[in-house]
Structure 1
Amino acid sequence: MRQGYGMFQQQTAKLRITPQLRKAIMILKLSTPELHEVVRRELVENPALDMAGYDWDTYHINNVSPKFFRHTATPDANYDAYLHAASNEVSLERHLKEQLSFAKKIPQTIRKVITFLIGNLDTNGYLGTTLEEVADICKVDMTSANYALRILQSFEPRGIGARNLQECLLLQVQSLSDCFPLVSLLIRSHLNEIADYRISKLATNLQVAPQEIQAAIDVIKGLNPRPGGAFHIETVPYIIPEVIIEKAGEQLIVLLHQATSSRLSVNGYYERMVKENTEYSKAAKFLSHKLHAARFFMKCVEQRRKTIFRVTQAIVEEQADFFWKGSGHLKPMTLKQIADKLGIHESTVSRATAGKYAQTPWGIFELKYFFPSGLQMDRGDSASSERMKLKIKEWINSESPRRPFSDQKLADLMKQEGFKVSRRTIAKYREELGISSSVRRKRI
């Protein structure tokens, strides 16, 4: 056979994701707030799609209830306007300007510089510019700029207007009447040693008792490194549980909020127009396409609801001990176990649990929470990471402050309980719990 170049036809089978399948996968992966937004956008873009209780004038994505969407056309007799008034949290800038307005005997020029300084504070309360730049922009000398900064640093909360962490802590120490000089010395010259908790080394170098170093560090720990943080207004994220899991006698039941798909429908007026318009026209083709898109969207939303319900039911069956007894009885579980149980792919389970929350007798948890990793025990059972963390927390809470348990000691205690765990695993779980090492927990 002679070899060479050429063009040949060849028939092959390939798996391709269609736009419809891609959209179905996207809808399954959405969290509840994201689904609300997609439904709202689809209602705006597709005239063939309707929704019961949808008000075009007053609907907003944040205006949701446990039934997902609330009809707002009919006024509520119990509506209290004061409860829905705009919040009036005091910002850091407003708090400082109010103090400036009450301050007496400050020249107008200095007031303008202080106002400029207030406007250049970051969310932590630190000054984000140099005094040279302040003097240049405000057209004042360095003496006036320094004077304005000192006045600002005398305002509450103490530490405001600092240019670094060291200055912030020193400003707060100066306001403490019963603070001993060792605290200021440690802040000025030994912050790195404090961070590394080198009490013995500090005691030797400064020729003081370790107990004095410990007491000074306790004072420093009580200071606020972010004095402006309390005034930083953040949007509070609200969680809307996708499912509710409740105890009913000796059974566990899974409840879903009113399904969005049950409120979606195809617009009957446009449907009749397509049926009555027998001529092939652009309008009929357009409406036919929109009707098909509306039905497919409704099908995707309903399929999402059914999939989440089936996955949650399987989770409840596998983790029944958790729902009856608490997080200490959560056992290791993988996505593959649920996928095999339901006869679906692991990726489908992953999408159905990502960003979805369940309200349980023990609180609200993301569905991903019920898939913890685990470790093998000596007797052949397996223990979840949550159970291990609970044991670590119990032992640390009962330890002696003078002789805290090291990670190796905790690992040995785990082995006595039958857990096969290494010191590195203990350290990882301890850090996830936000617990310091034994060196930092030690009290002299």
Structure 2
Amino acid sequence: MKRILVLGAGRVAHPCVDYLLQHTDAALTLVDQDKHNADAVAGGSSRVTTSAFDATQGTKDLLASTKPDLVINLLPAAFMVPVARDCVATRTNMINVSYIKEDMRTLDVPARDAGVLLLCELGLDPGIDHMSAAKTVREIHDRGGKVESFWSCCGAIPAPEANTNPFGYKLSWSPAGLVGASKREARILKNGEVVVYPPGETFRHTSFIEIAGLGWFEQYANADSLPYIHLYDMPEAKNVYRGTIRYIGWSETIRKMLDLGLFEEEELDLTGLTHREFTARLAGATSCESAEAALCRVLKLEPYSSILHKLAWLGLLDDTPLPFARGSARSVVADLYLKKLVFEPGEQDLVVMEHRYEASFADGRRKRFVSTLVDRGIKGGDTSIARTTGLPPAIGARLFLEGKLPFTGVHAPVLPEVYEPSLAELERLGVLFQEREEILA
């Protein structure tokens, strides 16, 4: 019997483990810092062994004791490289959902030398986005076309009927991750030139988009789009853009919060402060000025501004004490997000992903190809973000156990051996893209 070690029993673990139990005969070891989380995900299955485990102590001893054929690493991104190093050292294969960065790339040659596969970026975004894009770019090339422009956006948001708060957002991932993403550099390729938005500036360059069947949203550039020119094998592209989808109004709110300094990481003395006093201090309120008046002055808002009302709704003007004596402005916001941006029981989340390609062909024709994924969470069950992030690594694990991934080293899922069966299986499970082509003038 093959053995799989699953690290982490967080939000995405249940659909991953459930798929493995249904579609493989492997024995699973599931570890988490909190054994209760692991037990809940295991659901009493006799094929799952659970235990408490602190990943900060390293995984070599765990790998030595469990001797897995494959590790599925569902831990936060900070654990990606340390776990991968241990996997290479013990000649253990690994599937991971986090982004490949330079420190991970340095393990490519050692992994090949050890005969180990480190298959990364196999989740939703990154993951499903890679597989769909690599497939379509290849199809365009096979038809003799050249990709002129590539545009891709993704968002995990509340379903319309669950969009019930002024922020237009609810947490389907960690509040720290959401806060961190609010102050990030973005890079795109526009008309063959690299455009760089310094941290937070991307929110000044938003636009509206329409998703067929859903309506209008806003989008903004997210992180670095340039590596995808090579990753998707489209060196001819002159426009490359990756962005994030949100309900309209998000970017303006976040930009004003950035202006106020609410996403700064500097540790502050917050002893005895209420949320209102903390906000007034950030806004530089004078002794005879209310927090509201100071916010309007420093952020250039009218008293009736929706931004002011959103900050009040979030709790930044409440006369309640801050929950800690020392911390950053970012930690105050993360705490409020965790309390206010929550899904109620029975509410559904929504994953929206769309790719748009413009391509030219030798006969002079130009076409637009559009791929749209819309997926809802299951009422009373797994969220969409959990399913779309947890199913791809499980499918990858199944392919590995069946001997269908005959390569070693560090890889993203842009190889046909990965994306063709994975996308087909996701479609069978109801996670699918709607495809259409349009003739351009």
Q: For this structure pair, what is the TM-score category when the shorter chain's length is used for normalisation?
A: under 0.3
Q: Identify which of structures 1 and 2 has the higher relative contact order when contacts are C-alpha pairs closer than 8 Å and 6+ apart.
A: 2
TM-score (norm 2): 0.20
Rg larger in 1 or in 2? 1
Q: Which has the higher strand share?
A: 2
Q: Which has the higher helix share?
A: 1
TM-score (norm 1): 0.20
